[in-house]
Amino acid sequence: MAISPVVTYDATSNIKVTATKAKSLAVRTNSISNAPNAPPSKPEKGRELAERLNDETKQKYVKDKKLGEGTYAIVYLGHLRADHSSLLAIKKIKVNTEYRDGLSMDAIREVKHLQELSHPNIIALHAVFSSKNQNLNLVLEYLPLGDLEMLIKDSEGIRYGTAEVKAWMGMLGRAVWFCHENFVLHRDIKPNNLLIAADGEVKLADFGLARSFSDPYRPMTYQVITRWYRPPELLFGARFYSGAVDVWSMGTVFAELILRFPFVAGNTDVHQLELICNAIGTPTEENWPGVSKLEGFLKYDKAATIPVRGKDFYLSKFGTAGPVGVDLLMSMLALDPRKRCTARQVLEHKWWSSDPRPTAKEYLPKKGGGAERMGEDLKRRGGEIEDGRGEKVARKLNFDVGKS
């Protein structure tokens, strides 16, 4: 299966791949007859098949020490019982006692989408099993080298340039393209959700807010994507939106990689819009037909309207990306989602084939280990709380009917 619609310069997969969106009749010539899924071993008295399958899966893994804790899960290091050198991350979904409606939406979304998406730049879900007390456990690939946010913030310890940014953005772009090709919106793209594998590969993780966009006529919630990475249409309360929301987030990540601090970091939703107006331009009916009809549209004073920034502005701020890179950045940050480029267009952009070539993943800078780093990490975590970075804007969804 294609991992990118275009030529990739990835050191490991230098294949020319053209993924035509051929509306081919999905003809499975012989597939049904050699369908996988042979019914598992012999029946065993008194225990259901599903239960046995689950136990078989559970038996395969061993949980070791705790790695970290997230909003709705605790993550452990683990390994295969049969192979102690194999490393895995086992994400145990916390049973939320407050939430009485069964399996939580976070968990359902993450499991549902990761089960379907298999791509080198998307965190791999190897298995799911439940422990006796009805806890869900996700067996994920182990990604030991932190996340992009750590690298961005460690401006003293880690140096990188355009070639590295290009490598990271390429991996992110392929992940997002693949999600969209599979009709999945991620809806929480940010440096903190881009984890790094031992070999330097970037992996898109955290699908707790993802959804499929199968039905274009059904409204969705606009309370998604962490504020700094949230596009203007969601800030204006749009209920019908597309993959363009993820492309905006990608654009803000691109900008942040270059600046080494968040590009537009508002304290409130209104402040966020204000910063977008300043940095990119004020949304108007002229540059974005229909914008004034959005529910949460804020009318701006004509006099205070800031015209959409031109290329010069971007060159002065993001010059290191070069004129071609700046061109890509601008098309990802178009105010009008219909004018924003698609994930496919991102990957088809000239920037990838212009100099410099993206750094091969094995040469990408990595989070350092050891004691000194530990100190850095702790400092970072402290700062995180102070500047409100840990804020979970999007986690709590508005669960009105038909609006999630």
Ligand X SMILES: Nc1ncnc2c1ncn2[C@@H]1O[C@H](COP(=O)(O)OP(=O)(O)O)[C@@H](O)[C@H]1O
Sites of contact with ligand X (CB under 6 A):
67-71, 73, 75, 89, 123, 140, 142-144, 195, 206
DSSP β-bridge partners for residue 125: 140
Residues 6+ apart with CB under 8 A from 234: 222, 224, 225, 241, 245
Nearest to 317 by CA among 270, 267, 359, 254: 254
The item of Mg ion, another protein, ligand X, none sharing an interface with residue 387, based on CB under 5 to 8 Å by kind, is: none
Check residue 226 for interaction with Mg ion (CB under 5 A). Answer: no
Binders of Mg ion among residues 191 to 210 (CB under 5 A) are 193, 206
Question: Alpha-carbon distance 6 to 271, whole Å?
Answer: 38
User: Tokens 């800030």 — which residue?
Assistant: 235
Cα-based distances in Å from 381 to 149, 306, 374: 11, 36, 11
Q: How far is the CB of 86 from ligand X (least distance, A)?
A: 13
Nearer to Mg ion, 88 or 148 (CB): 148
Q: How far is the CB of 1 from another protein (least distance, A)?
A: 5
Pick one of 12, 13, 15, 59: the residue that binds another protein (CB under 8 A): 15
Check residue 303 for interaction with another protein (CB under 8 A). Answer: no
C-alpha 12, offset from chain centre? 22
Cα-based distances in Å from 263 to 16, 310, 338, 342: 34, 17, 22, 21
Question: Alpha-carbon distance 357 to 351, whole Å?
Answer: 9
Q: Is 188 a catalytic residue?
A: yes
Q: From 6-14, 207-215, 261-269, 375-383, give the range in contact with another protein by CB under 8 A.
A: 207-215
Task: Please identify which of the residues 106, 154, 188, 269 carries the catalytic annotation.
Answer: 188
Nearer to another protein, 23 or 65 (CB): 23
Q: How far is the CB of 91 from ligand X (least distance, A)?
A: 6
300 is in an annotated binding site: no
74 is in an annotated binding site: yes
Check residue 370 for interaction with another protein (CB under 8 A). Answer: no
Check residue 44 for interaction with another protein (CB under 8 A). Answer: yes
The item of Mg ion, ligand X, another protein, none sharing an interface with residue 75, based on CB under 5 to 8 Å by kind, is: ligand X
Q: From 50-58, 80-88, 154-162, 298-306, give the range in contact with another protein by CB under 8 A.
A: 50-58
The item of ligand X, another protein, Mg ion, none sharing an interface with residue 267, based on CB under 5 to 8 Å by kind, is: none
**Is the distance from CB of 249 to CB of 232 less than 8 angstroms?**
no
And the tokens for 42? Answer: 């012999």
Q: How far is the CB of 384 from ligand X (least distance, A)?
A: 11
72 is in an annotated binding site: yes
What single letter denotes the amino acid at residue 292? S
Binders of another protein among residues 217 to 256 (CB under 8 A) are 218, 220
70 is in an annotated binding site: yes
Check residue 10 for interaction with Mg ion (CB under 5 A). Answer: no
Neighbours of 378 (CB within 10 A): 10
**Is the distance from CB of 141 to CB of 218 less than 8 angstroms?**
no
Q: How far is the CB of 57 from ligand X (least distance, A)?
A: 18
The item of ligand X, another protein, Mg ion, none sharing an interface with residue 143, based on CB under 5 to 8 Å by kind, is: ligand X
Nearer to ligand X, 145 or 280 (CB): 145
Nearer to another protein, 25 or 371 (CB): 25
Backbone dihedral angles phi then psi of residue 219, each to the nearest 5 degrees: -65, 150
Check residue 268 for interaction with another protein (CB under 8 A). Answer: no
Pick one of 14, 37, 85, 268: the residue that binds another protein (CB under 8 A): 37
- Provide the binding-site residues for another protein, judged by CB under 8 A: 1-2, 5, 15-20, 22-29, 31-33, 35-39, 43-51, 53-54, 95, 100-103, 105, 108, 111-113, 115-116, 118, 128-130, 132-136, 181-182, 211-212, 214-215, 218, 220, 399, 401-402, 404
Query: Which residues are tagged catalytic?
Result: 188
**Residue ranges for the binding site?**
67-75, 91-92
**Residue ranges for the binding site for ATP?**
67-75, 91-92
